[in-house]
């Protein structure tokens, strides 16, 4: 049994590592709206390793998404 059960990706990073970043996922419409500078809540946020793309966490609850929208 490992001492901490923190998940690591293929590179061996935990979610506290600087490579592991939250990514905002938008629908096509969302991208257009954000692209013209209007605040829009993402469809989903994934916390993933920027290097290998391993997903640590997927957030799709509306309240969290609204708090994380672009300003």
Residue 21 in contact with Zn ion, rule: CB under 5 A: no
- Cβ closest to Zn ion, residue 52 vs residue 55: 52
Q: Cα(48)–Cα(39) distance, rounded to whole angstroms?
A: 23
Q: Cα(47)–Cα(4) distance, rounded to whole angstroms?
A: 19
Determine which residue in the list 38, 52, 55, 66 makes contact with Zn ion, applying CB under 5 A.
52
Q: Cα(58)–Cα(46) distance, rounded to whole angstroms?
A: 4
Binding segment for Zn ion (CB under 5 A), chosen from 24-32, 38-46, 51-59, 63-71, is 51-59
Q: Which residues bind Zn ion (CB under 5 A)?
A: 9, 11, 49, 51-52
């Amino acid at each position: 049994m490992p001492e901490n059960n923190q998940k690591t990706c293929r590179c061996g990073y935990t979610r506290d590592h600087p490579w592991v970043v939250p990514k905002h996922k938008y629908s096509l419409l969302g991208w257009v709206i954000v692209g013209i500078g209007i605040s829009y809540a993402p469809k989903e946020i994934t916390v993933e390793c920027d290097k290998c793309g391993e997903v640590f966490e997927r957030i799709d609850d509306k309240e969290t998404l609204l708090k994380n929208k672009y300003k």
